[in-house]
Each structure stands twice: as structure tokens, then as C-alpha cells.
């Protein structure tokens, strides 16, 4: 994709044609082998780094900042004095996957912003390289060496430029390459899929045998077309088609879990369970506990008030991590929604989405993506009270 991206965008193609050593990876544009002078008056080579703005998969936008990272020592004048014209901060920040920004430069053009990446890159190179040329006139950033590897292309069908833009590439590695299974693609399960699909897990396995019907589209992410509904697809096939536009590794299983296929769960790193049946839930969670496979089970209990003037209830997300005892399992519901107390089976899109968000946040906390000061295994949101109740494991002294 990088070679295609370069060829389709004049500013990048011009940089390449002039010999700049470009690499596009993890949503960053890098220019390697930029000559600079260090504090010891030595001529070395460093790398300029900036996030790459894409307005479409193959269309580069204007730079969204006039600043750039630099990997190397701080560039200096020929006499070893710091080059203050671009000096800003020295964060020594890991941007992700071996990309390190030692320095954060600021070189704002008179107009306040750069026209394109050619304008930005050549402006920075000119300032830095000119000091090195004063010592050795033969040095040049134009090496005519090419780098075309982009290591996120095996997962996503186009580059994840959002992570580079906000600086979470390194954190993404904490959850990378997991094989995830989502059991049940009703409202909450479909939103779990929507959120997990934007992460760099390697595979997302979908389990559901039901057809995607018209009512499902009103509590699911996105907007199904009339054509989608007329195809009478299973939920698995519909979501496979939808999310394959974004990423690879979405694998549909047009079946629910039973004693005959329960063994498949041994192949996954983490399981999300979003089903109504208490019997099926117990079968699945007992198996996962027995084999020490981490999972999150989600559920909602919503009811009308007595006069049916409003709705009250709770959203729950329960985590079992493989190093826990069976305490979380004891917290799971033992009554199915099909039973009398849950006959209404109310599902609302905003609460499905909220419940899914709780589950995905818990999952990310487990792997260190988010800070977790409480380490709760269960969180329950009360709609009427607008409060979250947390359950934590009792500590054994």
C-alpha cells in the first residue's frame, strides 16, 4: 500500500523522485538519513517523523501540524551550538513499534501551516541539513533508498492513521495479535464487534446462528440497507461483509455454542459472551473456567415502570481473568430472559452500545491499555440512579 500511496499522491511522489528516503508505517511518514551536526560537531544521520493525514485510504491530506519528531541527537550549528530555530521539547517518546521521537521540533512557516508534506519535509531538511553541509558539502538526505513496508496492512484494509494521530500506537501493542471470539451478535454483541474491529487483534470469530432481521438494524451499529435485509443473511454473514470493509480476520461461524463445538473455544485468547440463555452461559463459562480462558459476560435487565411511563434497569459487565478463582462465575445470572421475570426482553440501542463499551473498556484494562486503580471484576450501571457499582475480589492476607 505504501508504494501505491506514494504513487497516487504528488507530494509524496515528488519527495521519492527527488531521492528522499521515505518510510510509511503505523500511520507515520518518516524521512531517514537526514544529515545533522551534533554537539560534538560530528555529522550524523537522523530521522524526521510526522503523522500522516489521510482523508481517504489512498488520498493524503494537508499536514495537521507544523511540528515534527526527530530521532537522533539534537541538531546543532557547525560549532556545536543547539539549533534553536527548531528547538521545542525533548520527550524521548516511543510512538510505537520501534518508532521513537527523541525530539519534538517546531518550524512554523510564515503562512502558519504547510501546503503539503513536500513543503513540510523539505523545509525541515533544509534547516537541519544546511548545518551539516557547512562541515561536509557532500552529505545529503537524498539517498534514493526506498522503504515500502507497512506492518498494519495485514490486519486493516487501509492504514490506521487514527492511532498515530493521537499517539496510541505503542499502547495498541498491549492488545495486538489476540484471537477473539464474540458469542452472540444481538445488540450488545454487535457493538462489541464494532469496537473490537478497530483494534489490532489478529482474528475476530463470530458465533450466532440467527438471521439478521429488520428489528436488528435498530439496535446495531451502522445502517443496514433494504438490500441487506432482503438478502436474509445470518447475523454472522452480515457482520462479516460489513467489517471486512475495514479489516481482515473476521471469521463467521453460523452456529451457537453447544457441547459439540465447545472445544473450539480453546483456540481463542479472549471471549466475549452476549447471550440470553442462562443454561448456555453456564455451559460456556464453566468450560472457560476449567481451561483458564479469560472472558467477559454482558447482560441487561430492563423493565417498564408500573405505569409504563418510563424504563428502569441495569447494564452489567462481568470479567473472569484466567488467574482468578470462580468468584466472577458466582455473580452471573442464573435465570434466562425467556423466563417470566424477563418476558419483555427490552433492548435499546444506546444501552446496548453502553454495555458493549463497558465490556471493551474492561478488556483493555485487563491488558494495561487503560489505568485500573480498582481492579473490579464486575461493573453494573444503574439507569435510574445513574451510578456504577463495582465488585472487587477479596484480598487474601
Per-residue pLDDT of the chain (397 residues; tens, 9 = 90+): 467 788 889 999 999 989 999 998 888 999 999 999 999 999 999 999 999 998 887 899 999 999 999 999 999 999 999 999 999 999 999 887 789 999 999 999 999 999 999 999 999 999 999 999 999 999 999 998 876 544 445 788 887 888 888 888 889 989 999 999 999 998 899 999 999 999 999 999 999 999 999 999 998 999 999 999 999 999 999 999 999 999 999 999 999 999 999 999 999 999 999 998 999 999 999 999 999 999 999 999 999 988 999 999 999 999 999 999 999 999 898 776 555 444 567 889 999 999 999 999 999 999 999 999 988 999 999 999 999 999 998 654 4
Instruction: Report how far residue 337's alpha carbon sits from residue 250's, in angstroms, rounded to the nearest whole number.
Output: 29
Q: How confident is the model at residue 283, as a pLDDT?
A: 96
pLDDT of residue 1: 44
In this prediction, residue 395 carries a pLDDT of: 52
Q: Could you give phi then psi for residue 219, rounded to 5 degrees?
A: -140, 45
DSSP type of residue 156: B
What's residue 266's pLDDT? 96
Alpha-carbon span 209 to 121, nearest angstrom: 53
- With cell 440497507, the residue in question is 225
Asked if 183 and 273 touch (Cβ cutoff 8 Å), the reply is yes
Beta pairing class for 179-183 and 270-273: parallel
> For residue 344, what pLDDT is reported?
60
Please spell the DSSP secondary structure of 31-48, one letter per residue: EEEEEEE-TTS-EEEEEE
Choose among 184, 337, 180: nearest CA to 257: 184
Note whether 327 and 393 are within 8 A (CB).
yes
Tell me if residue 369 falls in helix, strand or coil: coil
State the pTM of this model: 0.74
Are the CB atoms for 24 and 9 separated by under 8 Å? no
Of 21, 30, 19, 24, the C-alpha closest to 8 is: 24
**All domains of the chain in start order, with CATH:** 1-152 (no CATH), 174-392 (3.40.50.720)
Spell out where the chain has E strands: 21-25, 28-37, 43-51, 54-56, 59-60, 67-71, 93-96, 99-101, 103-106, 179-183, 203-207, 250-253, 270-273, 294-304, 311-320, 376-382, 387-392
Please give the pLDDT value at position 98: 81
Amino acid at each position: 500500500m505504501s508504494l501505491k500511496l506514494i504513487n497516487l499522491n504528488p507530494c509524496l511522489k515528488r519527495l521519492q523522485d527527488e531521492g528522499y528516503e521515505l518510510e510509511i508505517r503505523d500511520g507515520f511518514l518518516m524521512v531517514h538519513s537526514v544529515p545533522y551536526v551534533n554537539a560534538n560537531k560530528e555529522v550524523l544521520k537522523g530521522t524526521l517523523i510526522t503523522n500522516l493525514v489521510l482523508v481517504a485510504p489512498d488520498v493524503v491530506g494537508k499536514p495537521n501540524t507544523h511540528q515534527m519528531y526527530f530521532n537522533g541527537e539534537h541538531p546543532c550549528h557547525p560549532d556545536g551550538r543547539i539549533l534553536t530555530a527548531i528547538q521545542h521539547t525533548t520527550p524521548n517518546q516511543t510512538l510505537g513499534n520501534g518508532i521513537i521521537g527523541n525530539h519534538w521540533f517546531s518550524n512554523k512557516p510564515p503562512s502558519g501551516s504547510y501546503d503539503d508534506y513536500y513543503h513540510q519535509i523539505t523545509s525541515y531538511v533544509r534547516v537541519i541539513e544546511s548545518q551539516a553541509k557547512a562541515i561536509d558539502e557532500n552529505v545529503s538526505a537524498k539517498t534514493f533508498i526506498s522503504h515500502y513496508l507497512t506492518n498494519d496492512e495485514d490486519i486493516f484494509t487501509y492504514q490506521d492513521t487514527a492511532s498515530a494521530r493521537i499517539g496510541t500506537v505503542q499502547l495498541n501493542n498491549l492488545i495486538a495479535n489476540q484471537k477473539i471470539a464474540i458469542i452472540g451478535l444481538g445488540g450488545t454483541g454487535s457493538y462489541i464487534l464494532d469496537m473490537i474491529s478497530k483494534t489490532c487483534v489478529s482474528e475476530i470469530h463470530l458465533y450466532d446462528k440467527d438471521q439478521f432481521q429488520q428489528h436488528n438494524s435498530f439496535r446495531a451499529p451502522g445502517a443496514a440497507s433494504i438490500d441487506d435485509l432482503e438478502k436474509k443473511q445470518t447475523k454472522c454473514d452480515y457482520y462479516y461483509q460489513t467489517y471486512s470493509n475495514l479489516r481482515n480476520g473476521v471469521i463467521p461461524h453460523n452456529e451457537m455454542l453447544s457441547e459439540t463445538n465447545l472445544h473450539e473455544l480453546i483456540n481463542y485468547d479472549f471471549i466475549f459472551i452476549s447471550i440470553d440463555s442462562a443454561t448456555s452461559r453456564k455451559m460456556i463459562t464453566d468450560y472457560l473456567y476449567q481451561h483458564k480462558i479469560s472472558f467477559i459476560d454482558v447482560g441487561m435487565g430492563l423493565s417498564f415502570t408500573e405505569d409504563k411511563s418510563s424504563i428502569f434497569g441495569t447494564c452489567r459487565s462481568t470479567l473472569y481473568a484466567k488467574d482468578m478463582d470462580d468468584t466472577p462465575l458466582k455473580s452471573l445470572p442464573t435465570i434466562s430472559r425467556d423466563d417470566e421475570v424477563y418476558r419483555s426482553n427490552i433492548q435499546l440501542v444506546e444501552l446496548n452500545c453502553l454495555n458493549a463499551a463497558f465490556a471493551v473498556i474492561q478488556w483493555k484494562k485487563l491488558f494495561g491499555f487503560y489505568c485500573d486503580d480498582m481492579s473490579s471484576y464486575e461493573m453494573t450501571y444503574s439507569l435510574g440512579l445513574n451510578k456504577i457499582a463495582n465488585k472487587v475480589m477479596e484480598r487474601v492476607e
